[in-house]
């Protein structure tokens, strides 16, 4: 019996060490965690990091989901979860587990939650896209374009907007936008 207890204790210890050495949890852009809600609230700033911080401050929170505004009159929303529910792919959302924070995805030249304010020579409404691809493509197609910013709907615009720039402006962290430098 003592040998079995030692083997079980060793196995539990190895599992605990593996958990401690694993990479930290990260928020997942492009995913929702439907269900398990115990509270929700609007996020006037429209920043997913506010939702992650709310979860950190509440002892019963195990996971969270944030959704970008659906339009100019609807706010960004935060849902706090009493359990870690399975994630599902959803371009509207960012979700995470307690302790995850928000890490924006890195996708080559695409800059998530970055606004390159100013330098616009042309702007237009475009289709909704979680990566701002229509805006990036428009910039690539014009020799004058050096950089671009895609603004999500609900962040001061009723439909997604693309801003093409003839100068490269410094990046500013803003959850409204996705940007890129082309030339």
For position 49, which CATH number holds? Answer: 3.50.4.10
For 62-75, how does the pLDDT look when each residue is reduced to its tens digit (9 = 90+)? 999 999 998 878 89
**Residue pair 161/124 in contact by the 8 Å Cβ criterion:** yes
Number of domains in the chain: 2
Closest residue by Cα to residue 94 from 56, 130, 132, 66: 66
Q: Determine the 3-state secondary structure of 155 from DSSP.
A: coil
Regions of the chain where pLDDT drops below 50: 4-25
**What is the separation, in whole angstroms, between the first and last Cα of the chain?**
70
- Of the three residues 97, 123, 143, the one that is the final residue of a domain is 97
For 30-50, how does the pLDDT look when each residue is reduced to its tens digit (9 = 90+)? 889 999 999 999 999 999 999
Q: In terms of residue numbers, what domain contains 70?
A: 25-97
This prediction's pTM: 0.72
- Whether residues 114 and 174 share a domain: the answer is yes
- Whether residues 177 and 121 share a domain: the answer is yes
**Mind giving me the DSSP string for 6-60?**
HHHHHHHHHHHHHHHHSPPP--EEEEE--S-EEEEEEETT--HHHHHHHHHH-TT
In a domain, 35, yes or no: yes
């Amino acid at each position: 019996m003592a040998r079995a207890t030692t083997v079980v204790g060793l196995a539990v210890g190895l599992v605990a060490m593996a958990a401690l050495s694993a990479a930290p949890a990260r928020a997942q852009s492009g995913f929702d965690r439907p269900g398990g809600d115990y509270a929700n609230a609007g996020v006037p700033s429209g920043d997913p990091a506010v939702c992650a911080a709310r979860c950190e401050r509440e002892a019963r929170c195990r996971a969270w989901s944030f959704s970008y505004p659906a339009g100019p009159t609807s706010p960004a929303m935060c849902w706090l979860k009493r359990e870690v529910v399975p994630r599902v792919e959803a371009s509207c959302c960012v979700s995470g587990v307690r302790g995850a924070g928000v890490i924006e995805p890195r996708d080559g030249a695409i800059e998530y939650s970055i606004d390159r304010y100013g330098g616009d020579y042309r702007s237009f409404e475009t289709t909704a896209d979680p990566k701002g691809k229509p805006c990036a493509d428009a910039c690539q197609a014009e020799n004058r374009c050096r950089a671009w910013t895609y603004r999500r709907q609900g962040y001061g615009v009723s439909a997604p907007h693309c801003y093409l720039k003839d100068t490269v402006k410094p990046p500013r962290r803003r959850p409204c936008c996705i940007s890129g430098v082309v030339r």
